Chain A
Amino acid sequence: GEDVEQSLFLSVREGDSSVINCTYTDSSSTYLYWYKQEPGAGLQLLTYIFSNMDMKQDQRLTVLLNKKDKHLSLRIADTQTGDSAIYFCAEANSGYALNFGKGTSLLVTP
C-alpha cells in the first residue's frame, strides 16, 4: 500500500514536550492510531482518534488531526525517560488491517 510517513528520530530532554508528526494516505480512514513499541516487545495501542474529531486529549497525550492535509500529530507533555520508545502512526485502509508508518524513535535524555 501507499506509505504512511513519519520522521524516523526525535530527541527531547526530560520534562519537555515531544511532538511526533505523521502524514497518512487514505482520506477515508475512519480511525487513526498511535501505537508504542518498547524495546523487545510488541506494539501496544497508545491512543486513537476518530476521523470526525480535530483533537483528542488523554492525560499527557494530545492528538491533533488535520483531515485537509492528512496530518496527524501526537504530543506528549512532560516527557519522561520511560516514554523512550518507537511510536507508530497507523491508518485503517481496507477495513481489515492497519497500515503502519515506519515508526519514530523517541529518545528522552535526562
Chain B
Amino acid sequence: NAGVTQTPKFRILKIGQSMTLQCAQDMNHNYMYWYRQDPGMGLKLIYYSVGAGITDKGEVPNGYNVSRSTTEDFPLRLELAAPSQTSVYFCASSYQGMNTGELFFGEGSRLTVL
C-alpha cells in the first residue's frame, strides 16, 4: 500500500533556482493538498485541488504553482526559490474532503534554500 508518495525527501536549492516537488497517491482520492510546516508554526495550506483540472489557493500560495492533470498526481512548483521557502512540505489527500474525510499524508519533503 503506497498511499501518498512524495519525492524528493530532501533537497537543497540556491536562491533563484526552481524545482518541482512531486506527489502521487494511489487511493483514487479526489482531494489533494500541499501544506508547509515550519518549526513552531504548525501547517499552512499552500494549494489544494478538489479534482483533476481544478486547483485553488490556500493560505500561503505566493511563490508556488500547482497543476492537477490527473487524479493521481499533484506536483508543486517553486519558481525563483527564496530562503523564506525553506520548510518541510507535506502533500496530503482525502476521499471526501474535510467535513467527513480523513487526510492521508506523505512523509514530507525537506527543502533548504541557501
Contact = CB atoms under 8 A, between A and B. Distances in A.
Interface of A: 1, 4, 8, 30-31, 35, 40-45, 48, 88, 92-103
Taking residues whose C-beta sits less than 8 angstroms from the other chain, chain B's interface range is 20 to 34
Given A30-B99, A45-B102, A103 B42 contact: yes
B114 interface: no
B98 interface: yes
B98 A98 contact: yes
Contact of A42 (B56, B98, B107): B107
Nearest to B97: A96
Given A42-B106, A96-B48, A102 B98 contact: no
A102 B102 contact: no
22 contacts: A30-B99, A31-B98, A31-B100, A41-B108, A42-B4, A42-B108, A43-B105, A45-B102, A92-B99, A93-B98, A95-B98, A95-B99, A96-B48, A96-B50, A96-B56, A96-B98, A97-B33, A97-B45, A97-B48, A97-B98, A99-B45, A102-B40
